[in-house]
Amino acid sequence: MIELTAAQVAAATGGRLHADPDVTVTGAVIIDSRDAAPGVLFVALPGDRVDGHDYAPAAVAAGAALVLASRELDGLPTVVVDDPQAALGELARYVLARARSGAHGGVVPQVVAVTGSVGKTTTKDLLGQLLTPEAGGEQAIIFTKGSFNNEIGLPLTVLRVTAATRYLVLEMGADRLGNIAYLTGIAPPDIGVVLAVGVAHIGHFGSVEIIAKTKSEMVSGVVDGGSVVLNADDQRVMAMASLAGPGTIVQTFGTIPSADVRAEDITIDPMGRASFTLRVARGGEAEEQRADVALQLVGAHHVSNALAAATVVLRLGVPLPDVAKRLSEATALSPHRMAVTERPDGVTVIDDAYNANPDSMKAALRTLAVVSGRTRRSVAVLGEMLELGDSARAAHDEIGRLVVRLNIKQLVVIGQGAYHIHEGAMQEGSWGSESIFVPDIAAARELLDESLEPGDVVLVKSSLGAGLTALGDHLSGAKTTEDNHK
C-alpha cells in the first residue's frame, strides 16, 4: 500500500485516533492476524465464528503499526470507527483517489472492473496475464489469484496499490441490488465489463430482472469518458448500453456478426479446449483484423471470457497479434475452476467445485461430455447449487435431466440439498445404478475411491458452500485448503 500516517487513516475513515498521529503504515492492510508483519494495518472485523478484535494484540506483537477497530483497545495504536468494514471501503476509496491524482508521485493506475453472473474470476485472471507484459512486470499490475470480489475482498485488493501500479484489475460480485454501485463507488472503473446475466444468487435477488439491474450498475459506475465492454450475445447485457453516460465508449464482444470483437470458426479439441479466429472491427470491413487463438483453458464457455479480456486489452492499446499470442499462452490461475489433473492411475479429474449455478453447471457438464468422448467413462460428481430460492428444485431437476441427455455414464449426487439432481436423472431415463445419491462428502469419497477406474473422466462441481472443494482436492491429489480465521 501507499504509505499513510495514522492521522491520514483516521481522516480517510472518519475515525477517532488513539495512537501517535505520525505512526506510519508502511506495509499491507490485513484482516488475518497470521499475516501480520512490521508496518501493516490490521483491520479488526467481527465474524460469525471469531472477532478480529481478539486477535489485535497478536497482530501488534507481530509488528502491525496500527489497528482499525470499532472500540478502543488497551495499549494498542488504534483508529476507532463505527463500522470497520465500511471504514475499510472508505480507506480504499481514499487511497485509490490519491493514486489517481498523482499525489503519491507515481504512475496513475488504470482501473479495469469485471462483473457478471458467470466468468468473472476467469476473465480477471486472463486480463492479468494479458496485461502483465504491458505493465512491465508483476510489480506494476494488481489482480488477485482468487475471488476477492465483495465488500471486504475488493477494498483489500485496491489497498495493494503502490506508486508503481499501472493496472488494477478488479472483480466485482453481487448478491443484492446496490452491491456493484457500492464497489464502483470505491473504485470507479476506467473500463467496466459486463459478462452475462444469469440466475446466480437469484434467491437473494428475487428475479432475473433485478440481477440485470444490479449488473447494470457497472455501466453507470465507470468514470466520465471511460469505456464499457458488453457481451453482444446476451440481450440483457446489451440493453445496458443505453445507460452509458455522455462520452462513454461502448464496445461489444461475442460470436454474433455485429460484435466489435468476435470469435469465428470455433472448434473444440478432445480435451475441451477451444480454438477460434479472433476478428476485430476497426470501423469498416476493409479495416477488420484477424488472428488465430488456441486456448489452454478447458471448456467452450471460456471463449466468451477470452473475448471479453481481448476487448479490454485492445482498448488499452495492446496490438492484436500480442493479444492472440498471450491468450493462447494463458492458463488457469485460480483453484477449483475447471482445473484438470491427470492422475498417475489414468483418471482425469476436472475440479470445478468453487462455484455453481445452473448456467455454469450446464457448461461444465458439456465439457465433461466432450473430454470423455466415446471411449472413456464420464463421471459427474455434483453437489448443491446454493442461493436459488424458489427455483432451486426445478433447477436441480433440470441438471439431472441434462446429465442423462448428455449420456454421462455415472452420476454421483451429494447431500440432501442436491437430491433433486438425482431425482431428475431418474425420471428422465431408465436409469438405475447410473445415478447414485449419497448423504455426504465422506460417503462420496469412499464410493469414488472404490469405483473409479483407469481412463475415467471425473467432474466435481457444486457451490462453494456445499464443500466439494475438499473432495476435488482429494481426487486430484492437491493439498486441502483451510479456511482463514481472523
Residue 272 domain-assigned (yes or no): yes
Residue 61 domain-assigned (yes or no): yes
CATH number of 67's domain: 3.40.1390.10
Residue 280 domain-assigned (yes or no): yes
Residue 286 domain-assigned (yes or no): yes
pLDDT at position 479 is 54
pLDDT at position 480 is 46
Residue 481 domain-assigned (yes or no): no
Q: List C-alpha distances in Å: 206 to 194, 203, 385.
A: 20, 6, 16
Considering the domain architecture, whether residues 392 and 270 belong to the same structural domain is answered as: no
> Among 94-98, 333-337, 403-407, 449-453, which is the least confidently predicted range?
333-337
The reply, when asked if residue 400 is annotated as ligand binding, is no
Examine the pLDDT at 314 and tell me if it is beyond 50.
yes
Residue 97 domain-assigned (yes or no): no
pLDDT digits (tens, 9 = 90+) for 133-185: 999 888 899 997 777 899 999 999 999 999 999 999 999 998 889 999 999 99
Instruction: Indicate the pLDDT class of residue 481, thresholds 50, 70 and 90.
Output: very low
Examine the pLDDT at 482 and tell me if it is beyond 60.
no
Q: pLDDT > 70: what percent of the chain?
A: 96
Considering the domain architecture, whether residues 74 and 134 belong to the same structural domain is answered as: no
pLDDT at position 379 is 98
Q: How many helices (H) and strands (E) does the chain have?
A: 17, 22
Considering the domain architecture, whether residues 419 and 280 belong to the same structural domain is answered as: no
| Helical pair 441-451 and 468-476, crossing angle rounded to 10 deg | 20
Domain coverage including residue 382: 339-476
Considering the domain architecture, whether residues 413 and 282 belong to the same structural domain is answered as: no
Examine the pLDDT at 118 and tell me if it is beyond 60.
yes
Considering the domain architecture, whether residues 68 and 145 belong to the same structural domain is answered as: no
Q: Average pLDDT of 306-328? A: 97
> Among 25-29, 167-171, 321-325, 426-430, which is the least confidently predicted range?
426-430
How many angstroms separate the CA atoms of 165 and 106, rounded?
Answer: 8
Considering the domain architecture, whether residues 152 and 276 belong to the same structural domain is answered as: yes
Examine the pLDDT at 456 and tell me if it is beyond 80.
yes
Considering the domain architecture, whether residues 317 and 449 belong to the same structural domain is answered as: no
The reply, when asked if residue 122 is annotated as ligand binding, is yes
Considering the domain architecture, whether residues 430 and 469 belong to the same structural domain is answered as: yes
The reply, when asked if residue 121 is annotated as ligand binding, is yes
- 3 state DSSP class of 132: helix
Examine the pLDDT at 88 and tell me if it is beyond 90.
yes
pTM: 0.90
Q: Are strands 29-30 and 41-43 parallel, antiparallel or unpaired?
A: parallel
Considering the domain architecture, whether residues 238 and 112 belong to the same structural domain is answered as: yes
How many angstroms separate the CA atoms of 69 and 424, rounded?
Answer: 50
The reply, when asked if residue 117 is annotated as ligand binding, is yes
The reply, when asked if residue 116 is annotated as ligand binding, is yes
Which residue among 305, 329, 353 closes a domain? Answer: 329
How many angstroms separate the CA atoms of 9 and 24, rounded?
Answer: 9
Considering the domain architecture, whether residues 201 and 239 belong to the same structural domain is answered as: yes
Listed in order, strand segments (DSSP E) in 269-409 are: 273-280, 289-298, 339-342, 348-352, 378-382
Residue 99 domain-assigned (yes or no): no
Average pLDDT, the chain: 93
CATH number of 364's domain: 3.90.190.20
Which residue among 329, 363, 387 closes a domain? Answer: 329
pLDDT at position 202 is 67
Instruction: Count structural domains, the chain.
Output: 3
Considering the domain architecture, whether residues 357 and 303 belong to the same structural domain is answered as: no
Query: Nearest-CA neighbor of 389 among 364, 357, 426, 360?
Result: 357
pLDDT digits (tens, 9 = 90+) for 237-278: 999 999 998 899 999 999 999 999 999 999 999 999 999 999
Considering the domain architecture, whether residues 379 and 279 belong to the same structural domain is answered as: no
The Cα angle at residue 334 between residues 35 and 302, in degrees rounded to 5: 155
DSSP result, 375-444: TS-EEEEE----S-GGGHHHHHHHHHHHHHHTT-SEEEEESGGGHHHHHHHHHHS--STTEEEESSHHHH
The reply, when asked if residue 119 is annotated as ligand binding, is yes
Which residue among 39, 58, 88 closes a domain? Answer: 88
Q: Which residues of 71-93 are buried (b: 16+ CB within 10 A; e: fewer)?
A: eebeebbbbbbeebbebbbbbbb
How many angstroms separate the CA atoms of 278 and 325, rounded?
Answer: 11
Residue 306 domain-assigned (yes or no): yes
CATH number of 324's domain: 3.40.1190.10
pLDDT digits (tens, 9 = 90+) for 16-70: 999 999 999 999 999 999 999 999 999 999 988 889 999 999 999 999 999 999 9
